[in-house]
């Protein structure tokens, strides 16, 4: 079963957030924490199409790092906290809010690329198009 038409479409949220194959929903997407497998061990889908680039890091920066910075600024302004308090409070808070979401976000982006058949953008000029006769 190598054709994508033979598989029922699966939601990127259900497959990606769980780290499952976007085509069959059974195989694993990751071989490590963030490293993608070469292909699905169940249906054989080649994961070479996947290129989430910096997408997961961008979302983590927007939604996890900003609250961590606000926590650090609030501690400093409200309590004039010494450096060791920042290291014991803000540091672990930042690690706990930044690292765990990376894998589900990367899985969601890869599954979305498969589901929506995302490709690299291509520019076509009029001179490159076939001439009308």
Determine contact, residues 112/12, Cβ cutoff 8 Å: yes
What's the pTM value of the predicted model, to 2 decimals?
A: 0.81
Q: Are 93 and 99 in contact (CB under 8 A)?
A: no
- Token pair for residue 95? 């690690």
Q: Nearest 5°: phi and psi at 46?
A: -80, 125
User: So what's the pLDDT on residue 32?
Assistant: 93
> What is the rounded CA–CA span in Å between residue 68 and residue 64?
7
Q: What is the pLDDT of residues 22-46, one digit of tens each?
A: 999 999 999 999 999 999 999 999 9
Q: Name the average pLDDT for the chain.
A: 89
Q: Tokens for 133?
A: 């006769």
How far apart are alpha carbons 49 and 113 in whole angstroms?
Answer: 8
Sorting pLDDT into bands at 50, 70 and 90, what band is 129? low
Could you report the per-residue pLDDT of 56-74, keeping only the tens digit for each?
Answer: 999 998 888 889 999 999 9
């Amino acid at each position: 079963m190598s054709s994508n038409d033979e598989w029922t479409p699966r939601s990127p949220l259900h497959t990606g957030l769980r780290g499952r194959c976007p085509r069959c929903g059974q195989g694993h997407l990751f071989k490590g924490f963030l490293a993608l497998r070469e292909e699905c061990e169940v249906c054989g889908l080649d994961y070479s199409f996947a290129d989430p680039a910096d997408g997961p890091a961008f979302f983590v920066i927007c939604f996890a790092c900003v609250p961590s910075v606000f926590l650090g600024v609030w501690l400093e302004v409200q309590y004039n906290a010494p450096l060791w308090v920042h290291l014991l409070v803000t540091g672990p808070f930042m690690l706990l809010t930044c690292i765990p979401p990376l894998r589900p976000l990367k899985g969601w982006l890869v599954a979305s690329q498969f589901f929506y058949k995302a490709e690299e953008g291509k520019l076509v000029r009029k001179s490159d198009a076939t001439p009308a006769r």
